[in-house]
Amino acid sequence: MRLIKLAREKGLIQLMPETTDDLWHLERIIEPGDLVNGSTTRKIKGQEGEQTKRQKMFIKLRVQEVEFDEFSSILRVHGLIEGGKPEEFIELGAAHSLSIEPGFLLKIEKENLSKRHIERLKKAEKATHSKPVLCVLIDDERADFFELRAFKTQRKGSIKSGKSGKLFEAGNWQKEFFSKVLAKIKEQNIEQVLIAGPGFTKNDFHEFLKEKDFNGKVFIEGTNSVGITGLNELLKGKRTSKIMEKLQIAMDARLMNELLAEIGKGRLAEYGPEQVKKAIQMGSVKKLILLDKFFLKNRSEWEELMQLVERSRGEIHIIDSNSSAGKELEGIGMVAALLRFKIN
């Protein structure tokens, strides 16, 4: 994300998304009622006997709906035209959509540019310049690969060790296994690699990388498991590598760990929409935690509640529904809160 102008008192944001992840952030920032300004094309009817043509123009759109298509990497903003240029082609009040892709320059005008909007914009700007991490969870049976970005994880496959059959009997399984894992790492073209897992296999593989003069930055971490269980252990770990500390997905995982611990103790936590609403109205919420798809579906209802949390100096966290933390949050009601004091 490239932030060009940010004026909270005027409710003005001017920016350019640079990655698909930036569009994902914008879906959570652009809201019904906002004004979005950008370039587009519209079909213009020609004079009698002439064909319809597409006219490039700049429009100001009053937002009604926002829709992110992750497969095509396009954010579609639907609304009604309130202004634009050239004026002779502007049809005020007509329905239109802006298709926003990386590299699209746009301006957003909001009645209430809140702290949470600004924090998300700043995080998105920072994340754009952060490098991904390839996490390799390895033991003597298999290696699992995950690409870690600031807000998302993506599984990149798995390789079995071959610790059986003829290779095992010949004592060549580890060399063959490590060679395949190294080839997979090089295929991902990611500079930073975190090797984790139980036992000594991760350390043996690290030595193998040194022998092969691997050029990437390598970090080592111990876990009790491989696969998604091992990854979750890394994300939630209090003593995890520095490379993981600033990833938002790791922060979200640790936040959910804190929440579930408080719920387990029956102490300073609430979950489920009705109980959390009650806590907000009593001024008890220290950290409000919402699932992104719940927030997008119930935005109009929860916007005022979120403002109440901000006014009482609380924090707001919106968690990706595709992450492990998001799946945990969905399982307990899609909205939860850490409290300053008990409400019952």
pLDDT in tens, 188-226: 999 999 999 999 999 999 999 999 999 889 999 999 999
Q: Per-residue pLDDT tens for 271-321?
A: 999 999 999 999 999 999 999 999 999 988 998 999 999 999 999 999 988
Q: Kindly list the structural domains of the chain, giving each domain's residue range(s) and its CATH number in brackets, ordered by start.
A: 2-128 (2.30.30.870), 133-246 (3.30.420.60), 249-339 (3.30.1330.30)
Q: Are 195 and 206 in contact (CB under 8 A)?
A: yes
pLDDT on residue 48: 64
- pLDDT bin (cut points 50, 70, 90) of residue 49 is low
| CA 79 – CA 77 distance, rounded (Å) | 7
Mean pLDDT across the chain: 90
pTM: 0.77
pLDDT on residue 152: 81
Q: Is the pLDDT of residue 249 over 90?
A: no
Q: Is the pLDDT of residue 145 over 90?
A: yes
Q: Per-residue pLDDT tens for 147-184?
A: 998 888 889 999 999 876 554 554 678 899 999 999 99
pLDDT on residue 288: 97
Q: Are 148 and 246 in contact (CB under 8 A)?
A: no
pLDDT on residue 170: 47
Angle between helix axes 299-311 and 115-128 (nearest 10 degrees) is 100
Of 127 and 327, the structure prediction assigns the larger pLDDT to 327
pLDDT on residue 18: 92
Q: Per-residue pLDDT tens for 252-273?
A: 999 999 999 999 998 899 999 9
